[in-house]
Structure 1
Amino acid sequence: MSETIIDQVFINKDKCEYNTEVIDTGFSDHKGIELSLNVTSYKDPVINNNYRERIFINDDNIRIFNYILENNNWGSESSGDVNTKFDSFLESYKHCFDVAFPIKRVKPKHKTKTWFTQGIRKSSDTLRKLNKSARKNVALKAHVKCYRSLYKKVIIAAKKLDNDSYIEKGNNKMKSTWEVINKNIGRHKRKDNSFVIKSGGTTVKEPLQIANIFYKHFTNIAINLIKTKSNSNSKVKIPMNDMTMFLYPVTESEVLNAINKLKNKMSCGCDGIPDKVIKQSARNIASLLTEIINESFKTGVFPSKLIMSTIKPLYKNGDK
């Protein structure tokens, strides 16, 4: 043990990378040890509400995603029952997606008046100067009135062109049209995220309790309807059908056609993978999906994770 601690080094191996090498200094009977540390600052993350998390989907990321899928080992997806196969496939597919499309923190851009061009800004400054000059010179009032009328017409035309351009560039024309309408009539999205419902005569405010109430309602609605119908006195004669339904094995081309019929939207299910990305990677997953679908037909088992859905109650009108 040294009398000093100058040659005692303690590091946290979990939080830094290091490399050691024994060297001969040439001027001592003791050899030296060279220690290289790659230190990264680890600080507690500071929550900043000015940023939000999002993924960026572009052609480069899609190419990377398809490359990862092509080189992925899909061996474990071919063993087990339908649920095991599909769960393994979804886990691998989601992992490849997370690698190709990492979540990034971005700062939202402040919305500006896109129609307010540099020329309109200059005209606004000119009109302000003319108004100031007209207070001293009465002869300029007629000119200012004419200039103001022309300025308003230019603004109306600029807004119209901006709205037309916004709708034309939008992927969903109907959605873009309603966004323009709501913006012009001053109807904005509600910022109040509080949601209250009445269940069994009591008011429920907790989001988790509300979600459980909706879950129980939608999962038991079929059973409740059957009980209501069975207790009624009215008897409905249901015609018998001797025809039997057969499910034939699907082919890979049929699965590809079904995937290609999806819309190029960013909507996604519980897995968080948009339809647009699934379409772009269809050729790398069609064979696996074909195998899982045919196994489902053969055994009569439907993958349990495909039954899951996200329910979002949307407030329309009336008492909230």
Structure 2
Amino acid sequence: MGSSKFLISVVYKPPSASWEEFERGFDQLARAVSRTGLDFICMGDFNFDLLTLNGANFYFFNLMVSHDFFPIVNIPTRVTSHSATLIDNIYLDRSYADVVLYPCSDHFPVVGAVPRGRIKRNKIKKVMTRSLKRVNLQRFGEELSTIGFSEIMDMKDNASGAFDRMMGVVQPINDKTFPVKFLKPRKCEPRKTWITIEILKVSDLRNQAYVEYLNSECAMKLEEFKIIRNKVNSMRRNAKKEYFANQFSLNKDNTKRIWKVINDLLGKKKEAPPNSLLIQGELVNDEISITTKFAEFFSSVGQNVQAQGLVNFNNDLMKDEFVDDRGIGNEIEFQHCTGDETLKVVKTIKSNSAGTDGINLKTFKSVMCYLMPCLVHIINLSLQTGIFPDALKRAKVIPLHKGGSKL
């Protein structure tokens, strides 16, 4: 709503609550709000019928007007077979409102719009993706098949440089074959997976029957609506139950997929990582600073633990507890790996996530026949020289909010 600040209140008065109790409580609320100087929007189920201004209903209306709160809905919001009442409303100084005739409950949804100038909309972040179609994977392999890696194979003392040289060849071809595309997020939530076309058709019949009942106020039309409504509810319950039972059965051996199904069942959505962190009283906003703070935290865990006296890394008794003398020498010998061993390890990796270089593991697996000699050479060179490639020491860390304040 632009730069304006609003205070929004949702009020519910039980039918059994007395007028005196409501008047006393709401009057205190209204006076407290007036001291803030903020625009106030009050909405809810008040259980005072403004279509019948007598008794407590009249006193309620006068109370709201005395605090400059004006109702913006003037048609019934709750309709039954024997009554039509206006007990749900939105109160403010000026606006536009309407009632949606939708049978979500025995109360109609009430919608209000407040004119406050131009609305500042948050920028929608576009999602980056790469198309991993079969034709692109085939083209990727054809491009690599024409590349010679003899220069890398001749490197005998620098595993990090050899890996960088290999990625310097592979990454441009990857970017050319699988260009980054930006996808616009959906403007609306897609329907639930278990909602079938048949359920949607019956839901339309339910809505149509409800409108016909409202127009005719016929008891027979009401019974027809209730029959269709109950059928829709039954179809939704059964479809949802069957869908999730099948999902649990299909993914019983995949823990990651099982947790995704559980989160879908519970309605949990994946939240975007926070764009700011409160670290030791300092608010950190930019990505570089956040990354640096994370690196400082994890690199100092051992020192902090030792400083607190929880662990003494220099204690010989501790070394004896975890390292016993079973005739193990001071040297460890590694055997050179083979192509078959490397291929076996790569195939066991289930994740296809891309690293900091943007290369998806699925694309890497598809061209292993061309990169295998070069990769085996780099692995053996790393074992021989004791040098691990610097590029593989980088990690993409995404902070996940678990609870409490997001700062």
Tell me the TM-score normalised to structure 2 length: 0.57
Per the TM alignment, residue 288 of structure 1 is displaced from its structure 2 partner at its CA by: 0.6
The whole-number CA distance in structure 2 between the counterparts of 1:159 and 1:193 is: 33
Per the TM alignment, residue 87 of structure 1 is displaced from its structure 2 partner at its CA by: 0.9
* 2:159 aligned residue (54, 73, 82): 82
Give the structure 2 partner of residue 282 of structure 1: 368
The whole-number CA distance in structure 2 between the counterparts of 1:232 and 1:258 is: 37
- For structure 1, list consecutive stretches of 5 or more residues without a partner in the other structure: 1-47
2:223 alignment partner, SS class: helix
Amino acid at match of 2:199: I
* 2:240 aligned residue (159, 173, 181): 159
- For structure 2, list consecutive stretches of 5 or more residues without a partner in the other structure: 1-122
The answer to whether the 8 Å contact 1:259/1:278 transfers is no
The whole-number CA distance in structure 1 between the counterparts of 2:125 and 2:397 is: 28
Give the structure 2 partner of residue 106 of structure 1: 183
The whole-number CA distance in structure 2 between the counterparts of 1:216 and 1:233 is: 25
The answer to whether the 8 Å contact 1:204/1:210 transfers is no
**Closer/same/farther in 2, CA of residues 133 and 217 from structure 1, 3 Å limit:** closer
**Closer/same/farther in 2, CA of residues 166 and 97 from structure 1, 3 Å limit:** farther
**Closer/same/farther in 2, CA of residues 117 and 253 from structure 1, 3 Å limit:** closer
1:245 and 2:332 correspond: yes
* 2:384 aligned residue (286, 298, 304): 298
Percentage of matched positions with identical amino acids: 23
The answer to whether the 8 Å contact 2:152/2:165 transfers is yes
Give the structure 1 partner of residue 318 of structure 2: 236
The whole-number CA distance in structure 1 between the counterparts of 2:168 and 2:283 is: 36
Tell me the TM-score normalised to structure 1 length: 0.71
Give the structure 1 partner of residue 113 of structure 2: none
The whole-number CA distance in structure 2 between the counterparts of 1:204 and 1:141 is: 58
Amino acid at match of 2:373: S
1:236 alignment partner, SS class: helix
The answer to whether the 8 Å contact 2:273/2:400 transfers is no
The answer to whether the 8 Å contact 1:167/1:173 transfers is no
The whole-number CA distance in structure 2 between the counterparts of 1:70 and 1:58 is: 19
How many residues are aligned here? 270
Per the TM alignment, residue 286 of structure 1 is displaced from its structure 2 partner at its CA by: 1.1
Per the TM alignment, residue 96 of structure 1 is displaced from its structure 2 partner at its CA by: 2.0
Give the structure 1 partner of residue 108 of structure 2: none
Amino acid at match of 2:222: K
1:302 alignment partner, SS class: coil
* 2:220 aligned residue (132, 136, 139): 139
Per the TM alignment, residue 49 of structure 1 is displaced from its structure 2 partner at its CA by: 4.3
* 2:168 aligned residue (87, 91, 96): 91
Give the structure 2 partner of residue 68 of structure 1: 143
Amino acid at match of 2:360: P
Give the structure 2 partner of residue 56 of structure 1: 131
1:212 and 2:299 correspond: no
TM-align CA RMSD: 3.3
The whole-number CA distance in structure 2 between the counterparts of 1:299 and 1:237 is: 28
The answer to whether the 8 Å contact 1:195/1:205 transfers is yes
